[in-house]
Structure 1
């Protein structure tokens, strides 16, 4: 029975087991030593082994780090973000959070250990390898961010990939007494709730539309027809659409979808303005001036404003 339990545990943990787990399920110290000496097992960390030969998968490495840090530990930060599909590439260092009362005395190769008071609440109850809840992963990454751009990237990635919602992040934020970038994050969650799904869209909303007093567009508008299309920013009253082209989704087949959408809009009398990162981040005032001119030609009667003393939109 103990052997069956050990086999089931090893399978659950991607082939990884700790010395303590093996001993508790019937193995002897001599048997563990023989498995290592015969190279049937390989040592990953102190007291943590892979029960197979050959390459070690990323998930197995995460399991090894969790077991090395000890009971209650969980993958967090970029590691948890990768496991939950919030980013496409894992970080070179595995991030593990341990309960605050524990302190790891020795350095663990390839692992960065964080400590948290509330880990019993932020650790996901069922997902394996053990990891923090998605909303708390976002907040951990925000707290560690060195630049506002990184805050935008993590918040919008989590929502754009449908891993969570602004409301759930806000709820988790309300339970944290201290966190870096709180005012920025609270403002951003409101913008994301309005439909801004990427740093590019957030930049357009804030530095182009709001900063220059342009009318409010409807973001991520779903338009159904023979095929469903999504409009990044739709000024329906003025028959104008703004498409914000980040790299993702606008290469290859995405280019043909964009062309179909633009052509269909033109047939129905709608104009499309299309901008990329270089436009919105590099010259938001120029983008605002162009949009204002098209909006005015299509019936907008208010006046745009300058965004500051150095604004070049209407100079």
Structure 2
């Protein structure tokens, strides 16, 4: 049996009543510790062997231990652990259990029940990367949210994309399943962030612009969109203004290298692509026409800025 000290280290100070009994503690002992405020009982049956605020990892273990054997952190909580969603102030902790086991949700804790068995991974136990990505996509509000999750998966765990696709194929009642496959195809084609996916859909496809080579490797860096034939590179930067200095140097080196190749670099951020995609499309079209493109962009509607620059014939 695992030693008491090893158990506490692994579970970040949390333990169940059964674990306490297995290590020789009595009800009177742990009741006295709680009464003296040396220990805490955040959930009935779960004890924390120190006082004060609970660190994140301890709260995670409290949630998993409450849900019982085989439970795992899941959905947004597992997404944070795996790095599939950005860090933000947490609200509820999500765990998943396999039916017919039962554990109740509580304030700050959401218990999901799955008909599909899974093998928890990591410590504290989480649903695997692929299952977590699918769960996040199934509950996402927009296609861009799905693209953000799948893009982070592609960047950090590219091998998990195939497993995620296989899981979705095996579950025809998955919410948003068709949209999941459509976004997944775009991500596998190189749109590795929500911003890159929005550019692909709202700028490039919506306005009939030629598709570029995505994630093109050049001189040790990668171009977001390389329109090599038209000597144009498009960089899509969703980072905050206080991005680290090494990242700025990398971007500067990439832009300078493009200049030496006599390529024009266009750089757009979230505000550009999300709120003025027509203006971005018009600018890209004008730039690549200077590089030899002979096509005509397609206005996405009567008020599109592309329509003003390239008006359609009266009988079109």
1:204 to 193, 196, 199: 199
Give the secondary structure class of the aligned counterpart of 1:113. Answer: strand
**Shift, 1:30, TM fit:** 2.0
Normalising by structure 1, we get a TM-score of: 0.89
The equivalences for 1:232-311 within 5 A come to 232-248=224-240, 251-253=243-245, 254-311=247-304
Q: Distance in 1 between matches of 2:207 and 2:143?
A: 21
**Shift, 1:164, TM fit:** 5.4
- Are 2:145 and 1:150 aligned? yes
Give the aligned partner of residue 189 of structure 1.
Answer: 184
Question: Aligned in 2, Cα 1:236/1:163: closer, same or farther, shift over 3 Å?
Answer: closer
Question: Aligned in 2, Cα 1:250/1:216: closer, same or farther, shift over 3 Å?
Answer: farther
Give the aligned partner of residue 173 of structure 1.
Answer: 168
**Shift, 1:249, TM fit:** 8.5
Q: Check whether the contact 1:77–1:137 (CA below 8 A) recurs between aligned residues.
A: yes
The equivalences for 1:1-315 within 5 A come to 5-86=3-84, 87-89=86-88, 91-105=90-104, 107-118=105-116, 120-121=117-118, 123-124=119-120, 126-162=121-157, 165-224=160-219, 228-248=220-240, 251-253=243-245, 254-315=247-308
**Shift, 1:45, TM fit:** 0.8
Q: Distance in 1 between matches of 2:32 and 2:225?
A: 65
Question: Aligned in 2, Cα 1:41/1:252: closer, same or farther, shift over 3 Å?
Answer: closer
Q: Check whether the contact 1:142–1:154 (CA below 8 A) recurs between aligned residues.
A: yes
Question: Aligned in 2, Cα 1:204/1:146: closer, same or farther, shift over 3 Å?
Answer: closer
- Choose 89-98 or 250-259, whichever is displaced more: 250-259
Which deviations, in whole Å up to 9, do the C-alpha atoms of 1:21-63 show, x marking residues without a partner?
2113332222222332333321121010111233321111111
Give the secondary structure class of the aligned counterpart of 2:306. Answer: coil
Q: Distance in 2 between matches of 1:274 and 1:204?
A: 12
Q: Distance in 2 between matches of 1:249 and 1:193?
A: 28
Q: Distance in 1 between matches of 2:28 and 2:170?
A: 48
The unaligned stretches of length 5 or more in structure 2 are 309-316
Q: Distance in 2 between matches of 1:215 and 1:13?
A: 53
Question: Aligned in 2, Cα 1:163/1:269: closer, same or farther, shift over 3 Å?
Answer: closer
Q: Check whether the contact 1:79–1:90 (CA below 8 A) recurs between aligned residues.
A: no
Q: Distance in 2 between matches of 1:142 and 1:111?
A: 20
Q: Distance in 2 between matches of 1:296 and 1:250?
A: 34
Q: Check whether the contact 1:156–1:192 (CA below 8 A) recurs between aligned residues.
A: yes
- Choose 163-172 or 271-280, whichever is displaced more: 163-172
Normalising by structure 2, we get a TM-score of: 0.88
Q: Distance in 2 between matches of 1:77 and 1:276?
A: 28
Q: Check whether the contact 2:144–2:197 (CA below 8 A) recurs between aligned residues.
A: no
Q: How big is the alpha-carbon RMSD for the aligned residues of Structure 1 and Structure 2?
A: 2.2
Which deviations, in whole Å up to 9, do the C-alpha atoms of 1:88-134 show, x marking residues without a partner?
235221111122323335x523211111111x32x42x411111111
Question: Aligned in 2, Cα 1:306/1:166: closer, same or farther, shift over 3 Å?
Answer: farther
Q: Check whether the contact 1:78–1:90 (CA below 8 A) recurs between aligned residues.
A: no
The unaligned stretches of length 5 or more in structure 1 are none
